[in-house]
Structure 1
Amino acid sequence: MRNATFRQLRVFAEVAKHLSFARAAESLHLTPPAVTMQIKELEGHVGLPLFERQGRRVSLTTAGEYMLVYARKVLATLKDAEDAAARLQRLEAGTLTIGLLSTAKYFVPALLAEFTREHAGLDVRLAIGNREQLVQMLHNAEVDIAIMGRPPNELNVRAEPFGAHPHVFVAPTDHPLLRIGHPTVQSLLPYGFIAREHGSGTRAVFNSFFERHRLEPRIVMELPGNEAVKQAVMAGLGLGLLSLHTLRVELQHGLIARLDVEGTPVVRAWHVVHTLAKLLSPAAEAFRYFVLEQGERFLAERYGALLPLEPAG
């Protein structure tokens, strides 16, 4: 292993992440043959195959699973060294990798645009996933900092709230419940629901809301991602519970309707999160400070008009 390069370890970690040589090549801006060559060279240094290939399917061998643990530690240590060097030079330069809850992608790019106007020298990268995936990214040190709702209890993190995160019930624009000014939770039960997938923060809010009311909703469809849920609701396939921050365009253009159900909006908080084991680079520290200082104002300006009623908690 003494002749293995950091480049080979990065390629190995990326292939292991996607379990695809083609997707790893795309992510690293390399050609698939170049990725294959790097993996073959690393396997030569290790003396064992790291992946099993069956057609297009790729999986880690036992040796690959062991080596991945150490490769991630090496790469994380290298990133910490780079961050420390940048701090010593007092530079806000280099790469900043931000992990986003998939729901946060509706507003973070615009917030990031404000940030990068003041920090033009940064190479900013976004990694998007549901809550379960984002926790794994933090665990693997694949992101410097994360924007998410419920912070992970399973990791030792610093989680700081920066803004309200309301969730509301939505329906197609011709739904009969819209004729009721303030529907009860009980009145929702005759209708089916389109729910987000397990592992998402939105699904956790949905489950918690009905558990708190000791009611069991009828889920007629489970879909990955907010866009799929919105499209299904607009098509009349069921009701949904979604973050208000995913609904700006649809509500403004009358494509979907908000139901003013009792006990809603369900308000949680957005957090900026990083693991305590990771030393933040000057760039990551600057972004953290910017979000804490500007995030609440930004969300209020962008979404406040969509929520004229007082939050119910």
Structure 2
Amino acid sequence: MDLRQLRYFKEIVDQGSISKAAEVLHMAQPPLSMLLKQIETHYGTPLIKRYRQKWEITEAGQMLYNHATHMLQQMEMFDVKMDYMMQGEVGQLRLGVSSSCIHLVGDVIRQFSQSYPKVELQIFKGDSEKLEQMLFNNEIDIAVILAPENSEQYEEFPLTPSPFALAVPKNWSNEIDLEVVSIQNLMKFPFISLEAMEGYSMLENIIYYLKEKNISLNIVAKCKDITIAQYLVAKEVGISILPKIQLGYVDGIHFVDLPELEIAIQPKLFYKQEATFSPICRNFIALFKSNT
């Protein structure tokens, strides 16, 4: 039994006669009568009892009718879902966002969810090193992360870079003259250091710069996550040199520009070329680019 046979049988029952069903289906009556006989032969039982002026559906016929109705409804639903999927309106998108880039995606995620409410967004958070590896392993579709040194295997879209600045707890303002600040006179304070990540040279660049200035750090904590580093500064664990970005704990932090420190983070949108085969990914990438 195929869907065509099920559709024809259902139409016969719905119309109450083969002749009326043939009219609706725009076909001759004899082939439709033959089709009904073939189905009855296939199952070895009458599906419709015929009388002189009327006919009635048998128990087996009713079971087949119910099955045909269900299958045709399922096929219609599948066609609708397939159409939605081909338009990128239903499915799943796996998005990786590093903690240092979370402030760049909020508006885009909101607009995407409003435009495509049937697309499930699965969001992964972590440091850029981890998320780049997940993108490489096809565990996520798109990553918004800090640009690694080697990214030739990806398609990319650059976002606004953020310079590094000195992050000082606001309550320490009385101890530090923020108007005449320099790195040299701040190294007596406890320092929170960003930890090195494979494929990223930010920390090495900062350390190299400080070594050139003959500055040794009083490191009290290390972490890869910029959000955690900001939190520790806000809680007065120490000072740090961090990207000047608006994350969750900036209310307790005073950022001091360091013009002599010419280092910045470069966030980018990364995806593999094959991601563009997915309508959902294409829709998200296009929306992201139009908002930047």
Q: Same fold (TM over 0.5)?
A: yes
Q: Is the 8 A contact 2:169 2:236 kept in 1?
A: yes
Q: Deviations over 1:36-63 (max 9, x none)?
A: xxxxxxxxxxxxxxxxxxxxxxxxxxxx
**Cα distance in 2 between the residues matched to 1:165 and 1:280:** 32
SS in 2 for 1:286: helix
Q: Is the 8 A contact 1:168 1:265 kept in 2?
A: no
**Structure 2 stretches lacking a partner, 5+ long:** 1-81
Report the counterpart of residue 194 of structure 2 in structure 1.
196
Q: Deviations over 1:177-234 (max 9, x none)?
A: 6414142233333333102333289x84243134145245412211353343223223
Count of aligned pairs: 207
TM-score normalized with structure 2 length:
0.60
| Structure-2 change in CA distance of 1:196 and 1:95 (3 Å) | same
Verify: 1:233 aligned to 2:233, yes or no. yes
Q: Deviations over 1:260-289 (max 9, x none)?
A: 323358433321101235444111111112
Report the counterpart of residue 243 of structure 2 in structure 1.
243
SS in 2 for 1:92: coil
Q: Is the 8 A contact 2:93 2:141 kept in 1?
A: yes
Q: Is the 8 A contact 1:98 1:125 kept in 2?
A: yes
Amino-acid identity (%): 19
**Structure 1 stretches lacking a partner, 5+ long:** 1-84, 296-313
**Cα distance in 2 between the residues matched to 1:139 and 1:240:** 31
TM-score normalized with structure 1 length:
0.57
Q: Is the 8 A contact 1:193 1:217 kept in 2?
A: no
Query: Structure 1 residue 145: deviation in Å?
Result: 0.9
Report the counterpart of residue 166 of structure 1 in structure 2.
163
Q: Is the 8 A contact 2:158 2:269 kept in 1?
A: yes
Report the counterpart of residue 102 of structure 1 in structure 2.
99
Q: Deviations over 1:93-143 (max 9, x none)?
A: 211111111222244234311222222221111111112211210111011
Verify: 1:186 aligned to 2:207, yes or no. no
Amino acid at match of 1:234: A
**Cα distance in 1 between the residues matched to 2:246 and 2:201:** 16
**Cα distance in 2 between the residues matched to 1:190 and 1:162:** 35
**Cα distance in 2 between the residues matched to 1:86 and 1:182:** 63
CA RMSD of aligned residues (A): 3.0
**Cα distance in 2 between the residues matched to 1:217 and 1:286:** 49
Verify: 1:270 aligned to 2:267, yes or no. yes
Report the counterpart of residue 5 of structure 1 in structure 2.
none
SS in 2 for 1:283: helix
**Cα distance in 2 between the residues matched to 1:86 and 1:153:** 38
| Structure-2 change in CA distance of 1:165 and 1:259 (3 Å) | closer
Amino acid at match of 1:197: E
Alignment of 1:1-313 (within 5 A): 89-151=86-148, 153=150, 156-173=153-170, 174-175=172-173, 178-199=176-197, 204-212=201-209, 214-215=212-213, 216-218=215-217, 219-247=219-247, 250-251=249-250, 253=251, 255-263=252-260, 266-295=263-292
**Cα distance in 1 between the residues matched to 2:117 and 2:176:** 47
Query: Structure 1 residue 154: deviation in Å?
Result: 6.1
| Structure-2 change in CA distance of 1:154 and 1:113 (3 Å) | closer
**Cα distance in 2 between the residues matched to 1:88 and 1:95:** 10
Amino acid at match of 2:181: P
**Cα distance in 2 between the residues matched to 1:177 and 1:261:** 18
| Structure-2 change in CA distance of 1:86 and 1:178 (3 Å) | farther
Q: Is the 8 A contact 2:88 2:278 kept in 1?
A: no
**Cα distance in 2 between the residues matched to 1:165 and 1:112:** 21
Q: Is the 8 A contact 1:97 1:124 kept in 2?
A: yes
